[in-house]
């Protein structure tokens, strides 16, 4: 593949100029930790053009890429999203050097969950990385910036890392291909370790062919990496009849609305394509997944950066710091006990894969909002890794691909197989993607940013679509000076008490330049309680459908960054969750922990906080 292959007559230098223009137009600074100077990148692209003209074999000639900020890029500071940890890289990581040798041009380092600890993309001093197209939702982590850079068309492909799913989860959230190779197949030399024995450098791209090509360029033994290994020679089975394992009924657990149906649609697509679907018991895989953070293996994160974290507590994200520092005192005997248990699970895994070519699973279980992660940072993160955490522990290869759309939400699936079955998994993945397609075209070679939208994958039935977020305020209920339509980077928040107009905490919204949109009511599924707090405020609790009453709320629009700051300062027992409004739409809104209402007066009959105060 070359520049000519993907861009027609567009030169590498012209592609660089266009990419920097798109980056400026996108105005998403949280995607990047450090961009290389444009003039320097143009000069590198010009050298690629010269070599190509001289007949050099450059399979990635002129394609643009970014690398996660825990991967060394010569001349840039490798921070792993912790500025105090950063050091200027004197040489490229092996993977970056190999890509450059193949003609690819690196634009810079992307943002990540600090020290690659997380699946959410919000744990970074450089800013929470918002979803590329739905900024109230998370991007997914820890390879958050890399996924968004590809999805927005800022680069052709990007590098991430994947210890627990950090390459696959953000790929799923953006309708991208995410290749997690067999451990050791791609060198980790020049990569800040998260869990050294489990880390993998991954590829995120909009196109399966491109992702495979990039992974192939990066693969190969590297004496710089003591865990490097070479794939054994063997015949490809990509084109033959396949036996694909799927979970037994009920084992998927709780998925976002419509996702179970979307998974069934992928299964049906594979069956229609000639694959044999075999039900298997996935509980051993799920048990192994829980070992990654709940067992002794988390101690390897302390071995990687624990001394730094403890020496610089004020420089580290508090959630990341708690995870890493909490692993310090894991006893050695517990690690050996877990290793023994893992040996048993690996043996069981080998027996499972003796009867199937790959295991098909959803990539993750839900797509949470920034507010949901802020309210439950550890619980949400844990849920997101349900189907990804086990892969590296069991020495498995995996590939994540788009599985369809559920409303406005991307649904992704992954194929998992034994070590060194990477090519087989890619071949099987082609059976999932829409007929005649291997993914989306390379993003940076496509149309201008304004026209970059995800390609529609086969949709699940309309009945499974999620309620749309409330994007437009009816003109009849607009407040003076308010806009009828929210801006792309704004999040709608419903308030029901002390943050209402004229109430004691309303200044917290106006100080963040919040805009009042309208006054409306919730669905009749909520009860309101007068809490014993200072200042007085109510607690809104969702109950069974019809067991409550409509409660008056105001809808306010906040910028995504301001919304994040607002949520971060929220005291208990208050929380932010999804509120169902009377018109059937859903917005972010104040809720209350039910325990706080046990001794509070039920004031539901008043219909709202202001009416209660007036009484």
pLDDT category at 560 given cuts 50, 70, 90 is: confident
- pLDDT at 470 exceeding the cut of 80: no
Q: Which of 152, 82, 80 is nearest to 110 (CA)?
A: 80
H helix runs in 417-460, sequence order:
422-429
pLDDT, mean of residues 495-500? 93
CA gap 175, 150 in Å, rounded: 10
pLDDT at position 421: 96
As a whole number of Å, the end-to-end CA separation of the chain is 73
pLDDT at position 562: 81
pLDDT at position 438: 56
- pLDDT at 175 exceeding the cut of 80: yes
- pLDDT at 9 exceeding the cut of 70: no
* pLDDT tens track for 178-237: 999 999 999 999 999 999 999 999 999 999 999 999 999 999 999 999 999 998 876 555
Q: Is residue 277 within 8 Å of residue 387, measured between CB atoms? A: no
pLDDT at position 278: 96
Token pair belonging to 93: 């990581």
* pLDDT tens track for 81-131: 999 999 999 999 999 999 999 999 999 999 999 999 999 999 999 999 999
Q: Is the pTM of this model over 0.75?
A: no
Token pair belonging to 555: 């809808």
pLDDT, mean of residues 572-589? 88
pLDDT category at 434 given cuts 50, 70, 90 is: low
pLDDT at position 127: 96
CATH top class, domain 475-614: alpha beta
* pLDDT tens track for 532-551: 887 788 999 998 887 899 99
CATH topology (fold) of 3-451: Amidase signature (AS) enzymes (3.90.1300)
pLDDT category at 564 given cuts 50, 70, 90 is: confident
pLDDT, mean of residues 379-392? 96
pLDDT at position 463: 29
pLDDT, mean of residues 510-538? 90
CA 484 to chain centre: 31
- pLDDT at 7 exceeding the cut of 80: no
Q: Which of 245, 239, 304 is nearest to 278 (CA)?
A: 245
CB atoms within 10 A of CB 86: 18
**Averaged confidence pLDDT in the chain:** 87
Q: Which of these ranges, 4-13, 326-335, 437-446, 466-475, has the smallest mean pLDDT?
A: 466-475
pLDDT at position 241: 66
CB atoms within 10 A of CB 34: 18
pLDDT category at 462 given cuts 50, 70, 90 is: very low
Residue extents of the structural domains in the chain: 3-451, 475-614
- Annotated active-site positions, please? 68, 142, 166
CA gap 163, 181 in Å, rounded: 11
CA gap 204, 152 in Å, rounded: 12
pLDDT at position 594: 83
**The 537-542 sheet, strands edge to edge:** 537-542, 526-531, 601-602
pLDDT, mean of residues 418-440? 80
pLDDT category at 465 given cuts 50, 70, 90 is: very low
Cα–Cα–Cα angle for 191, 325, 184, nearest 5°?
Answer: 25
pLDDT category at 570 given cuts 50, 70, 90 is: confident
Please report the sign of the dihedral spanned by the C-alpha atoms of residue 138, residue 141, residue 146, residue 147.
Answer: negative
Q: Could you tell me which residues come within 8 angstroms of residue 434 by beta carbon, excluding any fewer than 6 positions away? A: 457, 458
Q: Which of 346, 391, 397, 426 is nearest to 182 (CA)?
A: 397
- pLDDT at 565 exceeding the cut of 80: no
pLDDT at position 240: 55
At 265 the three-state DSSP class reads: helix
CA gap 286, 284 in Å, rounded: 5
Which secondary-structure segment (H or E) carries 393? helix 390-393
pLDDT at position 342: 94
Token pair belonging to 78: 């490798």
Token pair belonging to 367: 């797509």
CA neighbours closer than 13 Å in the CB half-sphere of residue 144: 35
pLDDT, mean of residues 553-568? 84
Task: Please give the residue that has the higher pLDDT: either 335 or 484.
Answer: 335
pLDDT category at 443 given cuts 50, 70, 90 is: very low
* pLDDT tens track for 265-314: 999 999 988 999 999 999 999 999 999 988 899 999 999 999 999 999 99
CA gap 172, 149 in Å, rounded: 14
Token pair belonging to 388: 């990804």
pLDDT at position 575: 84
Residue keyed to tokens 């993160």:
381
pLDDT, mean of residues 160-165? 97
- pLDDT at 33 exceeding the cut of 60: yes
pLDDT at position 604: 96
Q: Is residue 355 within 8 Å of residue 304, measured between CB atoms? A: no
Q: Is residue 126 within 8 Å of residue 28, measured between CB atoms? A: no
pLDDT at position 237: 53
CA gap 37, 93 in Å, rounded: 19
Task: Please give the residue that has the higher pLDDT: either 560 or 86.
Answer: 86
pLDDT category at 454 given cuts 50, 70, 90 is: very low
Strand ranges in 408-522 using DSSP code E only, listed in sequence order = 409-418, 490-495, 515-521
* Percent with pLDDT over 70 in the chain: 89
Each as own residue / partner, the long-range contacts of residues 407-410 (CB below 8 Å, 24 or more positions apart, any chain) are: 407/258, 407/465, 407/466, 407/467, 407/468, 408/134, 408/466, 408/468, 408/469, 409/256, 409/258, 409/367, 409/466, 410/172, 410/173, 410/174, 410/175, 410/367, 410/454, 410/457
Phi and psi torsions of 424, nearest 5°: -60, -45
CA gap 474, 517 in Å, rounded: 9
């Amino acid at each position: 593949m070359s520049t000519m292959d993907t861009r027609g007559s567009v030169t590498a230098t012209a592609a660089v100029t266009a990419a920097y223009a798109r980056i400026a137009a996108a105005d998403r600074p949280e995607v990047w930790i450090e961009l290389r100077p444009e003039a320097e990148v143009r000069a590198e692209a010009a050298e690629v053009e010269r070599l190509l003209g001289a007949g050099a074999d450059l399979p990635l000639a002129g394609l643009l890429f970014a690398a996660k900020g825990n991967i060394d890029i010569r001349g840039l500071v490798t921070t792993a999203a912790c500025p105090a940890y950063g050091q200027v890289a004197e040489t490229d990581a092996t993977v970056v050097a190999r890509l450059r040798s193949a003609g690819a041009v690196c634009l810079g380092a992307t943002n990540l969950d600090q020290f690659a600890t997380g699946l959410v993309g919000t744990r970074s001093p450089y800013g929470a990385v918002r979803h590329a197209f739905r900024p109230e939702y998370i991007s997914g982590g820890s390879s958050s910036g890399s996924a968004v850079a590809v999805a927005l068309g800022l680069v052709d492909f990007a590098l991430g890392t994947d210890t627990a799913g950090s390459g696959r989860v953000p790929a799923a959230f953006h309708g991208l291909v995410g290749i997690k190779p067999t451990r050791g197949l791609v060198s980790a030399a020049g990569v800040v370790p998260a869990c050294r024995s489990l880390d993998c450098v991954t590829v995120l791209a909009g196109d399966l062919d491109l992702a495979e090509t990039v992974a192939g360029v990066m693969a190969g033994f590297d004496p710089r990496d003591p865990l490097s290994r070479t794939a054994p020679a063997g015949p490809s089975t990509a084109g033959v009849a396949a036996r694909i394992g799927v979970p037994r009924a009920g084992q998927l657990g709780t998925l976002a609305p419509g996702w179970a149906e979307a998974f069934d649609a992928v299964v049906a697509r594979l069956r229609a394509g000639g694959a044999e679907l075999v039900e298997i018991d996935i509980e051993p895989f799920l048990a192994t997944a829980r070992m990654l953070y709940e067992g002794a293996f988390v101690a390897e994160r302390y071995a990687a950066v624990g001394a730094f974290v403890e020496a610089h507590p004020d420089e580290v994200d508090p959630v990341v710091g708690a995870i890493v520092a909490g692993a310090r005192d894991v006893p050695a005997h517990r690690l050996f006990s877990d290793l023994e248990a893992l040996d048993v699970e690996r043996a069981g895994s080998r027996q499972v894969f003796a009867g199937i070519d790959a295991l098909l699973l959803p990539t993750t279980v839900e797509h949470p909002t920034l507010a949901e992660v802020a309210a439950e940072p550890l619980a949400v993160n844990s849920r997101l890794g349900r189907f990804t955490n086990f892969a590296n522990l069991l020495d498995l290869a995996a590939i994540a691909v788009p599985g369809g759309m559920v409303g406005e939400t991307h649904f992704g699936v992954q194929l998992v197989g034994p070590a060194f079955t990477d090519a087989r998994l890619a071949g099987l993945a082609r059976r999932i993607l829409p007929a005649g397609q291997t993914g989306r075209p390379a993003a940076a070679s496509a149309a201008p940013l304004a026209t970059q939208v995800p390609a529609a994958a086969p949709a699940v039935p309309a009945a499974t679509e999620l309620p749309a977020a409330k994007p437009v305020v009816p003109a009849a209920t607009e407040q003076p000076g308010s806009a009828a339509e929210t801006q792309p980077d704004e999040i709608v928040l419903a308030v029901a008490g002390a943050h209402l107009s004229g109430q004691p905490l309303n200044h917290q919204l106006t100080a963040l330049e919040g805009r009042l949109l309208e006054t409306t009511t919730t669905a009749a599924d909520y009860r309101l309680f007068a809490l014993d707090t200072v200042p007085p405020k109510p607690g809104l609790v969702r109950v069974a459908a019809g067991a409550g009453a409509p409660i008056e709320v105001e809808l306010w629009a906040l910028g995504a960054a301001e919304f994040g700051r607002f949520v971060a300062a929220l005291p208990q027992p208050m929380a932010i969750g999804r509120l169902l409004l009377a018109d059937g739409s859903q917005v972010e809104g104040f809720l209350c922990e039910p325990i706080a209402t046990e001794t509070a007066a039920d004031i539901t009959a008043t219909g709202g906080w202001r009416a209660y105060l007036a009484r």
